[in-house]
Amino acid sequence: MALDYHALLNPSQAAAVLQTEGPCMIIAGAGSGKTRVLTYRIAHLLEQGVDPFNILALTFTNKAAKEMRARIEKVVGPAAKNLWMGTFHSVFAKILRSEADKIGYPRSFTIYDTQDSKTLIGQIVKELELDDKLYKASTVLGRISAAKNKLVSVQQYLNDPVIRQDDEAAMRPKIGVLYQQYAARCFKAGAMDFDDLLFQTNVLFRDHADILNKYQNKFRFVMVDEYQDTNYSQYLITRKLAAKERNICVVGDDAQSIYAFRGADISNILNFEKDYPELNVFKLEQNYRSTKNIVWAANSVIKNNQAQLRKDVFSDNEDGNLIELIKAASDNEEGKLIAQSIYEDKMNQHLSYDNFAILYRTNAQSRAMEEALRKLNIRYKIVGGLSFYQRKEIKDLVAYLRLTVNPNDEQALRRVINYPKRGIGDTTISKLINSAEEANHTIWEVVSNAEQFLPARVSNPVVGFAEKIKSYTAVAAKEDAFEAAKFIAKNSGMIEELYADKSIEGLSRYENIQELLNGIKEYVDDHEREDKSLGAFLQDIALVTDSDLKDAAQEGEAVTMMTIHSAKGLEFRNVYIVGMEENLFPSQMMITSRADLEEERRLFYVAITRAEKKLTLSYATSRYQWGNLRSCEKSRFLDEIDPQYINAKFAPGPAVGESPFQHVFERRSNLVATPPRKTVATNYVAPADFQPSDTSNLQAGQRVEHPKFGFGKVTTLEKQQGTVKAIIQFEEVGEKTLLLSFAKLRVL
């Protein structure tokens, strides 16, 4: 029986679901239920008899694709398993595996991660005897990546006078040569980096009309999530695939386009109608996530951007608390005030630390926050640390696995040819590389015939290494990924070497290898997975995105700390946006052009709309930068929030002997309460002669006076981890939990 979408969705959502033919753009405001709409839209197509193999749905994270597929399966059943759904990189890597030979690559091509690419560039810089400080691998890779995302080939790069002038002005005239060498070495090694997965897909479709036609006929319906984050390369691929049927549906929010530094082009969504004049546009404007105050504040900020698709986001949720604005004397005091606020809200409202997130513009801002949280014994986790797959021992074993599948993988070969040590030194490796260059062979061709290029004494260990790799390849050809990996881990000597290291670090590395093998076993035991080969597993882990790694952050109840860029797509009950200062947010590097400033404003909009119930903004009037204490000016973005949505708290600095947490917070007097809202507040004003008492001998049952909460009675005293908490029933504001070491109480 067909679903009643009008009963399941609001009118705008239902209209977007039911419009299946022709080009369609769904402008989905923050918290507007876009995943729900995408889910039902695909379900509706399947109900109408569309073959799931004819639907292509592109996302930006594997997690998003997995969640959406699971939701669709609940609605329509097992047919959802046959959808072509995944990230741009995973879907087009799959296509390239089938068609790689058309563009000269092996189907078993390796996918280089960022570190592999940087290592290779570093080697080329060294070989060309260039200054590695001027030609930093990350800088060179960024320039190459930007070129590929704009589909600028090596030859176009070398022949473009404007590009050449830019590189010369940056004192890096050899970037083009490095791009040329890097591309040639990747091709020779049978490897693609992340950008190549899209670049080479465009090359495939450009040069092979029959292949493009094949996939145009296959993908009759194309859907793209987070369309505002697409770059030129992604835009071109989706436009080509949809050119025949024109059944393309893009979903996104221009107000949340924050990845220009990665190549995202907001004009893709702003100008979408130019490509499809017959476009149907649907606006999802109801925010189901946040309170009215948070939505109104976000709207008052984003309206200042000129480049946008106008929409009127609203919420039918409660008005909620006013947005708290904290002004601190320093970044350390800012951290202390935030930590105290989190502690009090957790205790008073019986929340979990998982309900709290601290967001900042740059990772460096986490230090003051971490110190303050540690002092109050508040558990926290930082998203964006070293991921599991970047640990040395994991990269070592994965290099063996990659080399097994693709022996031409130069980076993998270099990494493990002498690990564990087998007597192949740097001099021998250099000779192998030089021999490969002179004979125009791959390094594997030289290694596997080492006796032809090296003296017998030197070549013996190299020959032994080549025989090992050949044996691994033979095992991988007939065994699944787990059996092959287990054989390689043992036979290579890695497990024996790590097991022999009895230090804490050695034990940890050994356990990490075990965990990797556990993960491969889980991969193989997945009954729904058809391809259980080592090559398929390597592709799977190579395509793990940053967002997918967030789930690997430390487990357990903890406050989440991350940059705002990392927070996109997430939501938390209580959100703190810290460091709201000029030259920090907006960043000093993003205030020289309107486009950059508007991107920063969109970033602030994203940060605001992560909050469900409570939002706190903070800034410091002084902050250390490069060892110097500098005065700070509050962010211009704070002045863009309508004052009626703000409850300002000013921290003038502690008096002598006073705890830095305790300040008399001033309520901004000129707030106008429109539209009407309910707020929980007290009108209590402490007398001028108020002096706190010594509370070291405070007892349950005693009456006390607090400068903010008024009069109350101590009901319970609790000792925990060296601190004493007082639970007090106040006459005006009800029960509060306070730390005695910081609470200013007068015992009556």
The one catalytic residue in 113, 193, 195, 226 is: 226
Enumerate the known binding-site residues.
28-35
Terminal C-alpha separation, the chain = 70
| Distance separating alpha carbons of residues 625 and 627, to the nearest angstrom | 5
Q: What is the SS3 assignment for 314?
A: strand
DSSP state of 9: S
Question: Pick the catalytic residue: 69, 402, 610, 614?
Answer: 610
Give me the amino acid identity at 313: V
Q: How many degrees, rounded to 5, is the angle at CA 330 between CA 327 and CA 333?
A: 80
Q: Name the residue among 446, 474, 407, 429 with its Cα closest to residue 189.
A: 407
Active site residue 393: no
Which of the residues 19, 20, 35, 180 is marked catalytic? 35
256 classed as catalytic: yes
DSSP state of 353: G
List the binding residues for ATP.
28-35
CA-to-CA separations, 150 to 69, 85, 198, 234, 263, in angstroms, rounded: 31, 24, 10, 10, 8
Amino acid at 227: Y
Classify residue 333 as exposed, middle or buried by CB count within 10 Å of its CB (0-12, 13-18, 19+).
buried
Catalytic residue among 116, 196, 225, 319: 225
- Runs of H (alpha helix) within 9-87: 11-18, 34-47, 62-76
Residue showing tokens 């609203």: 314
* Distances from the Cα of 75 to the Cα of 16, 47, 61, 195, 371, angstroms: 18, 10, 22, 35, 47
Does residue 225 have an active-site annotation?
yes
**Which strands make up the sheet holding 746-747, listed edge to edge?**
734-739, 723-730, 710-720, 703-706, 746-747
Respond yes or no: is residue 610 known to be catalytic.
Answer: yes
In the residue annotation, 470 being an active-site residue is answered as no
- Amino acid 502 reads K
Say how far apart CA 534 and CA 335 lie, in whole Å: 47
How many other C-beta atoms are found inside a 10 Å radius of the C-beta of residue 101?
9
Nearest to 574 by CA among 355, 315, 746, 410: 355
Q: Under 8 Å CB-to-CB from 663, ≥6 apart: which residues?
A: 650, 651, 652, 653, 654
Structure tokens at 588: 């000093």
Task: Catalytic residue, from 13, 34, 181, 598: name it.
Answer: 34
Which residues are designated catalytic? 34-35, 225-226, 256, 610
